[in-house]
Amino acid sequence: MKVAIISGSARKSNNTIRVAKSIQKNFENSVLIDFQDYDFPNLSEGFLRKGSETEFQRNTIEAIRDAELLFVLTPEYNWFPSAELVSMIHQLGTNDYSEIFDKMVIASVGVSSGRGGRMPAVQLGYVFNKIFSYFNLNSITSPRTFEAQEVLSCIDESGQLLENEAFNQGFTSFISYSLKVAKRWHQSA
């Protein structure tokens, strides 16, 4: 199973990358895109043009296109996904790039240093489902999202799970469920 993980926080020393690294530890064949290198333009700066993408943009596009299971992680900023992640979706959810979202399962994760994370993960599901519907793509969002709460007490900087039984159980259950959904989706396709 080809897996891609998007860590959607551009902040230095962010918590989202901890969760992304922890997800990556579960898959041998995976690609991690870290938004600390983010350089997609804002919509006010115009749209991407095929063939003129930066290295980061090309790597992101290729990772999404090649993935059978795509984990999209966002920090929670006042109950919304990160601006960078929203901007990337606006740039890639277009006629020129929509095909990169075809034939995949997307699992979303909301990350919070305190309590929260659910709303941005749910909002990501809405927008990806709209892209799938509008462009008639053969993809789905996983019905289960994950709220990675109080991350500093649950995952270290390298992505190693700490001793937090409730978090670890929920986290591993989410990973297992997402993989199961992706396998079923691709078997029936």
Q: What is the CATH number of the domain that holds 56?
A: 3.40.50.360
What range does the domain containing 49 cover? 3-188
DSSP 41: P
pLDDT at 77: 80
Distance CA 171, CA 74 (A): 15
Distance CA 174, CA 109 (A): 10
pTM reported for the whole predicted model = 0.96
pLDDT at 189: 61
Number of domains in the chain: 1
pLDDT mean over 60-87: 94
pLDDT at 174: 97
Mean residue pLDDT of the chain comes to 94
Cβ neighbourhood burial of 26 (10 Å; 0-12, 13-18, 19+): middle
Cβ neighbourhood burial of 85 (10 Å; 0-12, 13-18, 19+): buried
